[in-house]
Structure 1
Amino acid sequence: MGERDWAGLADGDLVALARAGRPGAYAAIVTRHKAALYRLILAHVRDADEALDLVQESFVAAHGALARFDPARSLRAWLSGIALNKCRDWARRRRVRAMLSRVLPVEAAEAVADDRVGTEAAAIERDSLAHTLAALDSLPEGLRSPLILCAIEGLSQAEAAEALGLSVKAVELRIRRARAALREKTG
């Protein structure tokens, strides 16, 4: 089967072919979903290189767990759940590393010059984006993940609920609370 042939297949068909050991089927799954997983992970870790590594780790983990995938579920939601677990693992490792290693003193970090030259409007936009991202980062994980999955990644509330192991009503409530908290933090 050529690349175009894989593109026409539904996720469930690709999973069945990948489970059967069909060469190229899992690669087609990766090709189809890697951009969405990258955006999801990047929204959590805020580091492009780390996000690429975590996307790869997520797909390796998913490949190993493919036999346990329930075809009645959304593949994207299932992959998103794996990716979120990888983000949580990464955050735990990062906290441990931070405790065990020396951190650059704040004074030294402030002494580094910013070589970027921009207009006043660009500076205001960067500040606004930084403020919004900081507000998003300050949300508890339980509020941040549903908001990112639905508002940024475009998953339905049902798909987000499936990825997070919650009810649709719980996702709806958490998104509402997350948006209210963001409004309060960003003014």
Structure 2
Amino acid sequence: MARTGRDDAHRELLRRYKAPVYQLIARHTGDADEALDLTQETFVSGFAALDRYDGDRPFRVWISTIAINKCRDWARRRKVRAFFSWAFPLDEAHHIASDVPAPDMEADARLELERVRGAIAELPQKLREVLVLRGIEEATQAETAAILQVSEKTVETRLYRARSKLRQLLGGDETADSDA
């Protein structure tokens, strides 16, 4: 239906999938403003590529794959910008703090949340993606494998390693595997 370019079909896809895609991206990037931009980019790219969509796959998996790729591109651009801002600072706009927990949270809970977010951000990309999809977004193992275009066994292994590394980073397990 959406392949025909009908605006009402596009609106329906946006209505159904915009919030889950935004949440996935926001949790991956940790930046609400960037997540809005990347969500828009995801749907623009998705709608432009609808002729390549395989109707046998769930749309959620397909659009989530595009979203993850947008997050990867964003992370690469961010690393380049960070390097150049360090090497030759142009302006201080890049150094805006990430999203802050709601003000009504207790100070200890806020600190713990920031500690966990920081530890997740330190995980290698492949481990972080699996942890976000399975642990936070609650995607199934099969959906996660499809989104990341890996086997279900790879998802299982990466999730185990991500949890192990996260425990290590949070100080709960000093014997966790140090390679990612």
> Could you state the TM-score of these two structures normalised by the residue count of structure 1?
0.79
**Amino acid in structure 2 at the alignment position of 1:146:** V
Aligned to 2:100: none
For these two proteins, the number of residue pairs brought into alignment is: 158
**Amino acid in structure 2 at the alignment position of 1:100:** F
Whether 2:172 is the aligned partner of 1:184: answer no
Whether 2:58 is the aligned partner of 1:54: answer no
1:60 Cα offset (Å):
0.3
d(CA) in 1 for partners of 2:57, 2:118 = 33
Structure 1 runs (4+) deviating above 4 angstroms are none
**Amino acid in structure 2 at the alignment position of 1:62:** G
Q: Which has the larger radius of gyration?
A: 1
Whether 2:134 is the aligned partner of 1:150: answer yes
d(CA) in 2 for partners of 1:77, 1:150 = 13
**Amino acid in structure 1 at the alignment position of 2:37:** D
Give runs of aligned pairs for residues 1-187 of structure 1, distance below 5 A: 17-101=1-85, 102=89, 122-186=106-170, 187=172
Unaligned stretches of 5+ residues in structure 1: 1-16, 110-117
Q: For 1:87-141, what per-residue CA distance to the aligned partner results, in whole angstroms no more than 9, with x for missing partners?
A: 111112122222223275xxxx9xxxxxxxx79x822111111110111111111
Alpha-carbon RMSD: 1.8
Q: Percent identity among equivalent residues?
A: 48
1:164 Cα offset (Å):
0.4
d(CA) in 1 for partners of 2:166, 2:62 = 27
d(CA) in 1 for partners of 2:71, 2:143 = 18
Name the one with the larger helix percent.
Answer: 1
**Amino acid in structure 2 at the alignment position of 1:34:** K
Aligned to 1:115: none
d(CA) in 2 for partners of 1:170, 1:76 = 20
d(CA) in 2 for partners of 1:97, 1:144 = 21
